[in-house]
Amino acid sequence: MAKVVAVTEAIKSLAEAESRLNLSRAEDETFFTEWQTQLPSLSDSEQTALDTVRRRLLYHRADGELLEGAVTLLVVSPLLELAGFYDPPFKMKAEAAIEIAINDGEETLRGRIDVLILQNQLWVMVLESKKTMISTRSALPQALAYMMANPDLDKPRFGMLTNGDDVLFVKLLAQPTPQYGLSRAFSIYTIASELSSAFQVLKHLGQGIIHPES
């Protein structure tokens, strides 16, 4: 019988994620171009909405660090709505239970995560600012584990990690060998234009999921 271990206990570092999940980081710059090329332009209404999102973020952030729920309400939900992720053809799941068999089935990693999964290709993780003062990269090991749990091996998977201060995008391919790549960190709290840039990436990922390259 397979040994069952919680994801948060089994994977606490990037090294553990890579070794347990047989993952490697892609160093080829062409692996993850979706965050850099062919980004959509923003309409005036989109930019106005993004300005409102950032103004609200700064207003509430001035009182101190933001908890996960506040980040979701102030940043994540508005961005997802503006990018069209709450409308067809996208479907959303929250607090999804995941299970990953590793070591040839000898061990099973399980977890229930506060994460939004859209169309089985985009994972959105929200972290509490007070617990991630260094960077959003602290959530990367667990994010990779959750993304690896997708049974659809042929499609690329994308992740967006944020603590309300920064946004980081992740790309993962499971075949032929599991690899992942990272975007740069978008400093949406400190630099005014960074929220718009992050939104352009998010919108581009959504368009790519709806209209994948043939």
Does 17 map to a domain? no
Domain tally, the chain? 1
In contact, 143 and 123? CB cutoff 8 Å: yes
pLDDT tens for 140-188 read 888 898 888 777 778 899 999 998 999 999 999 988 889 999 999 999 9
Greatest mean pLDDT among 115-129, 148-162, 190-204 lies in 190-204
Residue 136 lies in a domain: yes
Let me know if residue 169 belongs to a domain: yes
112 confidence band (pLDDT: 50, 70, 90): low
Query: Is residue 167 in some structural domain?
Result: yes
What tokens appear for 196 in the block? 């718009």
41: its two tokens: 């332009």
Q: Which helix (H) or strand (E) holds 69?
A: helix 68-71
| CA–CA dist 164, 75 (Å, integer) | 7
Question: What ranges in 11-43 are assigned the alpha helix state H?
Answer: 14-21
Residue 65 lies in a domain: yes
**Kind of pairing between the strands at 122-126 and 157-162:** parallel
Local confidence band at 132 (pLDDT 50, 70, 90 cut-offs) = very low
Identify the residue with better confidence: 110 or 38: 38
Look at residue 66 and tell me if it is in a domain: yes
More confident residue, 153 or 60: 60
List the domain range (segments joined by +) for residue 153.
24-95+112-210
Residue range 59-73: mean pLDDT, rounded: 89
Q: How far apart are CA 209 and CA 118, in angstroms?
A: 10
Q: Are 152 and 158 in contact (CB under 8 A)?
A: no
Q: What mean pLDDT, rounded, does the chain reach?
A: 86
The answer to whether residue 86 scores a pLDDT higher than 60 is: yes
Cα separation, 100 vs 110, whole angstroms = 7
**Residues whose CB falls within 8 Å of the CB of residue 166, separated by 6 or more in sequence, listed in order:** 135, 136, 185, 186, 187, 188, 189
- What b/e sequence results for 72-102 when a residue is b if at least 16 CB atoms lie within 10 Å of its CB, and e otherwise? bebbbbbbbebbebeeeebeeeeebebebeb
Whether residue 96 is predicted with pLDDT greater than 70 in this model: the reply is no
pLDDT confidence tier of residue 38, bands split at 50, 70 and 90: very high
Q: Which of 159, 170, 188 is nearest to 71 (CA)?
A: 188
pLDDT at 30 exceeding the cut of 90: yes
Residue 9 lies in a domain: no
| Within-domain flag for 104 | no
Cα separation, 184 vs 206, in Å, equals: 19
Model confidence at 51: pLDDT above 90: yes
Given a cut of 50, is residue 130 above it in pLDDT?
Answer: no
The per-residue b/e assignment along 45-54, b for 16 or more CB within 10 angstroms, e otherwise, is ebeebbeebb
For residue 177, the number of C-alpha atoms closer than 13 Å in the C-beta half-sphere is 7
**CATH classification of the domain holding 160:** 3.90.1570
Q: Report which of 146, 147, 170, 85 is spatially closest to residue 119, judged by C-alpha positions.
A: 85
**Least confident range of 70-74, 88-92, 108-112, 176-180:** 108-112
